[in-house]
A = this chain, B = another copy of it.
Amino acid sequence: MAEKIPHWLTKQAFLAPNRVAIERVDGSTMTFLELKEQSQLLAKKLASLGVGKGSHVGILSNNNVTMIAMIHALSYLGAVAVLLNARLTASELNYQIKDANVIAVIVEDNLFEQGKELEVEKVFNFKQVHLTGAKEIELLSELDLDDPFTIIYTSGTTGFPKGVIHTFGNHWWSAIGSALNLGISDKDKWLAVLPYFHVGGLSIFIKSVIYGMPVYHLNRFSEDVFLDAIYNRGVTIASVVTVMVQRIMEQLGEKVFPEHFRCMLLGGGPAPVPLLEQAALKKIPVFQSFGMTETSSQIVTLSPRDALRKIGSAGKALFPAQIKIEGTTLNEIGEIFVKGPMVTKGYYNNDLANRDSFHNGWLSTGDLGYIDDEGFLYVVDRRKDLIISGGENIYPSEIESVLTGFPGVKEVGVTGKPDERWGQSPIAFIVPQNDYVRKEDILDYAKDKLAKYKLPKEIHFVNSLPRNASNKLVRNKLMDLIN
């Protein structure tokens, strides 16, 4: 049966009106009561502009407090927020807008020029919404957990992007699953710097509302602002991707992290083990995790108890969730399947993808991994990035992880190059830290750590690696660097 709960922002504003919901770098804050009032007012203004129950409304914005209030505003109308990635091209955005049946797009003021290229009936910038009169309508006082709340397109490194529908329930269960793993403390303050148009960034604001927890909001990442947040602003938890951890550690120098900081939640793909080891030395409590848009953020997380003992693992499935590796025994690599109430019920308007992806309630992730004797998940690679050489499976991330350990290597991307004899062979693209790094020394270093067939047949020094709008390495574009 579909459960109904009181509207979560209204409820938190009632339980803790004066608690801080959002804190900015300049020290200014917004309480839950203020956030509720702003969101409800925006809802009534959006209603004047023609948004109603079931409307699909695009949001095109970089990290921004008003953006969050707009998303809450849509929830008060029973409308669905289609979160658009501000780094995409107009044609990419128009694909999503059309595919998701978006009737209007709300655009951050700075992006209004970009908004003009959108093929949609109505485009409003934030200011226009603010300047509209409020329509006196009744707002939702309850949330039906089965109702859709957001649609977010998967980054789509191959093929066409798919619109992942998240119900209120998906977001709720994601927040609860995380709480049962990390605990809930009155002292928590969660730093948000990942893009809010991705589910990993957005989910922090949902947790905030459900837990009654302040979010420390950053427009964009910089080492200084991030470290200031942790040392001087009482931030206890931060959601990050690998490259941020790297940059923070460089900046840190000899310093170690303060004790009150309890969790650096690391998403966005497997992290190199040497990085995790260095982080442990600097007392950075990195929690590896595994998740995707379809799982409403993390679904597998390494718990505090096991963080050091199982370094390199993504952990165990969160309390309400399950994972399995299809068709393999323990310690054998196969495709990861996930199940649980935070997993999307389906892609929007995409029967084909729904048929392909769901099997008896389990979602196929397209990621490869294995589960060890104690039940810990190790994510190995994207299935499509697998290199098959002379019948042997080679996982690019394993080679990348080894090469990253060589001093002077900054970033590594590995892919398979067609090879007449072996089918494919691995080759490596490396961003060096300086001019003194020699390919021979790297290969020499790797020889002791990798079987012969895994050793890169070529190494190419490059200035940067191809990354998508989510800053993820796009391995199938590596070959373009030399062609």
Partner-B contacts on A (CB < 8 A): 1-6, 8, 11-12, 14-16, 142, 146, 169, 173, 176, 179-180, 183-186, 210-212, 303-305, 316-317, 319-322, 339-341, 345, 361, 375
Contact across chains for A1 and B320 when beta carbons are under 8 A apart: no
User: In whole angstroms, how far apart are the Cα atoms of A123 and B316 in the complex?
Assistant: 41
Contact across chains for B210 and A341 when beta carbons are under 8 A apart: no
User: In whole angstroms, how far apart are the Cα atoms of A12 and B375 in the complex?
Assistant: 13
Contact across chains for A2 and B4 when beta carbons are under 8 A apart: no
* Chain B: CB-nearest residue to A315: B15
Contact across chains for A180 and B211 when beta carbons are under 8 A apart: yes
Contact across chains for B184 and A15 when beta carbons are under 8 A apart: no
Contact across chains for A179 and B169 when beta carbons are under 8 A apart: no
How far in angstroms is the closest Cβ of chain B from A289?
15
Contact across chains for A6 and B322 when beta carbons are under 8 A apart: yes
Contact across chains for A146 and B1 when beta carbons are under 8 A apart: yes
- What 12 new A-B contacts, CB under 8 Å, besides A3-B173, A179-B179? A1-B2, A1-B345, A4-B341, A6-B319, A6-B320, A11-B319, A142-B322, A179-B184, A180-B211, A180-B212, A183-B183, A185-B185
How far in angstroms is the closest Cβ of chain B from A143?
10
Task: Report copies per complex.
Answer: 2
* Chain B: CB-nearest residue to A345: B1
Known A6-B322, A316-B14; contact A180-B305, beta-carbon cutoff 8 A: no
List the B side residues contacting A142 at CB < 8 Å: 322
List the B side residues contacting A361 at CB < 8 Å: 4
For the complex of A and B, the 4 pairs showing the least CB-CB separation, nearest first, are A3-B341, A183-B184, A5-B320, A184-B184
Known A183-B184, A184-B180; contact A5-B340, beta-carbon cutoff 8 A: yes
Known A5-B320, A5-B340; contact A180-B210, beta-carbon cutoff 8 A: yes
User: In whole angstroms, how far apart are the Cα atoms of A14 and B6 in the complex?
Assistant: 33
* Chain B: CB-nearest residue to A212: B180
List the B side residues contacting A341 at CB < 8 Å: 3-5
List the B side residues contacting A11 at CB < 8 Å: 319
List the B side residues contacting A14 at CB < 8 Å: 316, 375
* Chain B: CB-nearest residue to A176: B176
Contact across chains for A305 and B169 when beta carbons are under 8 A apart: no
User: In whole angstroms, how far apart are the Cα atoms of A14 and B319 in the complex?
Assistant: 10
What are some 19 contacts across the A-B interface (CB < 8 A)? A1-B2, A1-B146, A1-B345, A3-B173, A3-B341, A4-B339, A4-B341, A4-B361, A5-B319, A6-B317, A6-B319, A14-B375, A16-B305, A142-B322, A176-B176, A179-B179, A179-B180, A180-B184, A186-B304
User: In whole angstroms, how far apart are the Cα atoms of A184 and B305 in the complex?
Assistant: 15
* Chain B: CB-nearest residue to A173: B3
* Chain B: CB-nearest residue to A209: B319
Contact across chains for A169 and B3 when beta carbons are under 8 A apart: yes
List the B side residues contacting A180 at CB < 8 Å: 179, 184, 210-212
List the B side residues contacting A1 at CB < 8 Å: 2, 146, 345
How far in angstroms is the closest Cβ of chain B from A322?
5
How far in angstroms is the closest Cβ of chain B from A259?
15
Known A183-B185, A184-B184, A210-B180; contact A319-B15, beta-carbon cutoff 8 A: yes
* Chain B: CB-nearest residue to A339: B4
* Chain B: CB-nearest residue to A6: B322
Interface centre among A146, A186, A320 (most CB of B within 10 A): A320
List the B side residues contacting A211 at CB < 8 Å: 180
List the B side residues contacting A375 at CB < 8 Å: 14
* Chain B: CB-nearest residue to A142: B322
How far in angstroms is the closest Cβ of chain B from A478?
38
* Chain B: CB-nearest residue to A341: B3
List the B side residues contacting A305 at CB < 8 Å: 16
List the B side residues contacting A146 at CB < 8 Å: 1
User: In whole angstroms, how far apart are the Cα atoms of A29 and B321 in the complex?
Assistant: 28
User: In whole angstroms, how far apart are the Cα atoms of A5 and B1 in the complex?
Assistant: 14
Interface centre among A1, A316, A321, A339 (most CB of B within 10 A): A1
How far in angstroms is the closest Cβ of chain B from A325?
15
* Chain B: CB-nearest residue to A169: B3
User: In whole angstroms, how far apart are the Cα atoms of A6 and B362 in the complex?
Assistant: 13
User: In whole angstroms, how far apart are the Cα atoms of A322 and B321 in the complex?
Assistant: 27
List the B side residues contacting A176 at CB < 8 Å: 176
How far in angstroms is the closest Cβ of chain B from A53?
19
How far in angstroms is the closest Cβ of chain B from A358?
14
